[in-house]
Amino acid sequence: MIYAANFKANHTRKSTENYIEALNAKLGAKKAEDKVYIFPPSSALDSYEGDFTVGAQNAYPTQNGAYTGEIALEQLDEFDIKTILIGHSERRELLNENQENIVEKFSFFQEQDFEIIYCIGEPLNIREKGFESVMQYLLAQFEGIDITYAKLTIAYEPIWAIGTGRSATVEEISTTHRALKNVIKDIPLLYGGSAKPANIKEIASIAGVDGVLVGSASLDAENFSTMILS
């Protein structure tokens, strides 16, 4: 299983250090085949040591330059960061990233040989239209994306389940993952949306779920390590 923690705009540099210390104290007990990723905010990126990979939540697709408020490759290279989240629904919706911007970012970081966790997900009104509409919506988010890229992981995150406390049902996750796996084949597929200690076992046991991308429940190291060790 893959366990990825997305801190979003939570945690400081100091609290991330404390978090990693607390997490490291637990990770010795994790299964060797399980992989852990931490995506702290940009201000807390650093060269942390431990049995996990640190990635960037976002970066501008360029080496460096006049992009106010952004970080780029140079700032990631400083800490040897070679993993990035692309296409998160909060960036699509709140930061107005369109598919064209996302494809540009994806292609740039693919060229840089980054591990990419690429997020897709449908809003509630599409889910309510039925499964065919859901799949149509999700597949459109693959437009321009090289889904054969060897260092790619996909995260399916229904937007209506993100940060709401209401995870998708086992049936919803299972049918969507099965349909997505038919398209992405052997590419690992994560589920994201209110995954937490109380539902991790159930989610992890669904066929086609290779891991979880966790927001709220990852913010506390104790909680997140409970998920990893459960």
Binding residues vs ligand PEP (CB under 6 A) = 6, 157, 162-163, 192-195, 213-217
Instruction: Please give the Cα distance from 174 to 177 (Å, whole number).
Output: 5
Helix axes 221-229, 13-27, angle to 10 degrees: 30
Catalytic residue among 90, 97, 122, 157: 157
Taking the least distance from each CB to ligand PEP, the nearer of 162 and 200 is 162
User: Which candidate, 147, 155, 161, places its Cα nearest to that of 213?
Assistant: 155
Taking the least distance from each CB to ligand PEP, the nearer of 73 and 120 is 120
| Shortest CB 182 distance to ligand PEP, Å | 23
| Shortest CB 134 distance to ligand PEP, Å | 17
| Shortest CB 169 distance to ligand PEP, Å | 15
DSSP codes, 144-213: T--TT-TTEEEEE--GGGTTSS-PPPHHHHHHHHHHHHHHHTTS-EEEESS--TTTHHHHHTSTT--EEE
Taking the least distance from each CB to ligand PEP, the nearer of 123 and 163 is 163
Active site residue 88: yes
| Shortest CB 212 distance to ligand PEP, Å | 8
Taking the least distance from each CB to ligand PEP, the nearer of 40 and 192 is 192
% helix, strand, coil for the chain, step of 5:
40, 15, 45
Active site residue 177: no
Catalytic site residues? 88, 157
